[in-house]
Amino acid sequence: MRVEHQNLAEAFAEFKTDKNIKRPEMVKILEEVLINLLKRKFNVEEDEKIQKSFNITINVDKGDFEIWHNREVVADGAVEDSLSQISLSEAQKIDADYEVGEDVSEKISISDFGRREVLSIRQNLISRIMDLEKNNIYMKYKEKIGQIVTGEVWQVWKKELMLVDDERNELYLPKSEQIPSSKEFFKKGDSVRGVVARVELKNGSPIVIISRTSPYFLERLFELEVPEIFDGLITIKKVVRIPGEKAKVAVESYDERIDPVGACVGMKGSRIHGIVRELRNENIDVINYSSNPRLYVQRALSPAKITSISIDEAKKRAEVFMPSDQVSLAIGKGGANIKLAIQLTGYDIEVYRDNVQEEEDVDLDEFTDEIDEWVIDEFKKVGCDTAKSVLRLDKAELLRRTDLEEETIDDVLKILKEEFED
């Protein structure tokens, strides 16, 4: 029955070698399995009795173990407890020199327990170790939530990728956590970075979900690229993202000598370029945080230039006025810029065209009902495409620059002046 012992020892050795389980945990599991085996064989319920009468020696390095049964030699017919006592005649079968009162240590062979029992114990051992491994993976990645991990692409499916880490643990990157960009392609063998988003249990097995769309991923990337953030000299106050399109990062420095925005961007963009490449050319705005809501909202709407801001603290509302040509910049493509500014500041931001600015100038195309289009085109040829740009030049200058007649220019100037007088 040596084969059964080998099977049990090999099962132990296999997990000791291949699985990331600490030595004390392995020893404890095998001890518990063997104690249960002895309890069933000798019909004992208490662990203490087994531990008192048996020595279990486990060699983790070799993946092997030994069991020794310790009993006291008593006179024939005086055995009261077969677990802790052995008769003199039985002891002398082991060694003829034994006498009453001495201790006998007898090695127990796994074959003594029966083949079926050994197979059952082997399965129990494997199950216990696998449960421990699953729990270790679960706890390990629970502690890593919000941290960057790297995995190698192992399987590519329609709705997700399966990665493996350095210890061959499985990680999953769902499609919903991938940057929605036409450039985000992965193939088997690629190295992929992401932040641990969550760890779930499915049928008792840990499922580690990583993300490349989480704001925490961008925050951790800044920590890796900007030493001042890692050292605590610069603090990231908040990160908001529309993955693959645009992001805004508010930063603050507690050292007046450090420009937080400049430190994050780096010389000629050296620091932020690596992050942008990792995020598939996501446009990243880094702004200085401010506790002044007016200034903070103004910075959050960059690159748009504003004229004035009205803040309602109670309603967390901001009304922002700006020139017409800045409105599209404030809103951004698909509303991305203003959406992120709202998320970053926590204020409901409404953008308005500055009425004063609107009255100061009007496009010439607005006068097509009163001025012939070919005349308007003549003004545009010399760089005058608004009413104000025409009125800034005197009649003599307009005659010199254009091929228009004096009478035509007089009519145009009259129409434009009346517009502003109205």
Pairing of strands 234-242, 246-253: antiparallel
Architecture of domain 144-211 in this structure: Beta Barrel (2.40)
Place of tokens 């760089």: 383
pLDDT in tens, 288-299: 999 999 999 999
- What is the average per-residue pLDDT within 224-251? 94
**Which letter, b or e, does each residue of 120-159 get, where b requires 16 or more Cβ atoms within 10 Å of its Cβ?**
ebbeebbebbeebbeebbbebbeeeeeebbebbbeeeeee
In which band, very low, low, confident or very high, does the pLDDT at 174 lie, cut at 50, 70 and 90? very high
pLDDT of 241 higher than 90 = yes
Say if pTM beats, i.e. exceeds, 0.75.
no
- Every domain range in the chain assigned CATH 1.10.150: 361-421
Distance CA 223, CA 214 (A): 15
How far apart are the C-alpha atoms of 276 and 270, rounded to whole Å? Answer: 10
Judge whether residue 5 has pLDDT over 70: no
- pLDDT tens by residue, 257-271: 899 999 999 988 899
Rounded to whole angstroms, how far apart are CA atoms 179 and 185?
10
Kindly report, as residue ranges, where domains of CATH 2.40.50.140 are found in the chain: 144-211
Instruction: Give the pLDDT score at 4.
Output: 47
Q: What would the 3-class secondary structure string for 277-337 be?
A: HHCCCCEEEEEECCCCHHHHHHHHCCCCCCCEEEEECCCCEEEEEECHHHHHHHHCHHHHH
pLDDT at 349: 95
Averaged pLDDT, 388-416: 86
Q: How far is CA 57 from CA 4, 9, 43, 303, in A?
A: 18, 13, 22, 72
**Greater pLDDT, 19 or 417:** 417
Task: Provide the pLDDT for residue 65.
Answer: 78
Determine the average pLDDT of the residues in 247-253. Answer: 96
- Ranking 11-25, 268-282, 326-340, 383-397 by mean pLDDT, the lowest is 11-25
Look at residue 15 in the predicted model and tell me its pLDDT: 57
Res 18 pLDDT > 70 = no
How large a percentage of the chain has pLDDT more than 90?
A: 44
The candidate with the shortest Cα–Cα distance to 214, out of 231, 185, 188, 194, is 194
- CB 284 within 8 Å of CB 271: no
> What is the CATH T-level fold of the domain 214-284, as seen in this structure?
GMP Synthetase; Chain A, domain 3 (3.30.300)
Average pLDDT of 83-102?
A: 90
CA nearest neighbour of 317 among 347, 353, 291:
347
pLDDT at 50 over 60: yes
Query: Could you write out the three-class secondary structure of the chain?
Result: CHHHHHHHHHHHHHHHHHCCCCHHHHHHHHHHHHHHHHHHHCCCCCHHHHHHHEEEEEECCCCEEEEEEEEEEECCCCCCCCCCEEEHHHHHHHCCCCCCCCEEEEEECHHHHCHHHHHHHHHHHHHHHHHHHHHHHHHHHHCCCCCEEEEEEEEECCCEEEEECCCCCEEEEEHHHCCCCCCCCCCCCCEEEEEEEEEEEECCEEEEEEECCCHHHHHHHHHHHCHHHHCCCEEEEEEEEECCCEEEEEEEECCCCCCHHHHHHCHHHHHHHHHHHHCCCCEEEEEECCCCHHHHHHHHCCCCCCCEEEEECCCCEEEEEECHHHHHHHHCHHHHHHHHHHHHHCCEEEEEECHHHHHHCCEHHHHCCCCCHHHHHHHHHCCCCEHHHHHCCCHHHHHHHCCCCHHHHHHHHHHHHHHHHC
- State residue 357's pLDDT score: 44
Q: Which tokens sit at 53?
A: 């009468």
Which of 61 and 363 is assigned the larger pLDDT?
363
Q: Does domain 2-132 have CATH number 3.30.1480?
A: yes
Q: Does 1.10.3470 match the CATH number of domain 361-421?
A: no
Query: Can you give the pLDDT at residue 218?
Result: 97
Q: pLDDT by residue (tens digit) across 268-287? A: 889 999 999 999 999 999 99
Average pLDDT value over all residues in the chain: 86
Work out the average pLDDT over 317-332: 88
pLDDT at res. 167: 87
- Inform me whether the pLDDT recorded for 391 exceeds 70: yes
Domain 290-360: CATH superfamily is: K homology (KH) domain (3.30.300.20)
When pLDDT is cut at 50, 70 and 90, the band that residue 185 belongs to is confident
Model pLDDT, residue 358? 46
Question: In the predicted model, is pLDDT for residue 26 greater than 80?
Answer: no
pLDDT for 2 equals 46
**pLDDT value at residue 16:** 54
Q: How far apart are CA 70 and CA 73, in angstroms?
A: 10
- Give the confidence band of 384 by pLDDT, cuts at 50, 70, 90: confident
Higher pLDDT, 342 or 90: 342
pLDDT at 299: 93
pLDDT classification of 62: cutoffs 50, 70, 90: low
Confidence of residue 3 (pLDDT cuts 50, 70, 90): very low
The boundaries of every CATH 3.30.1480 domain in the chain are 2-132
Q: Check if the beta carbon of residue 217 is closer than 8 Å to that of residue 240.
A: no
- Cβ density class 173-195: b for 16+ within 10 Å, e for less: beeebbbeeeeeeeeeeeebbbb
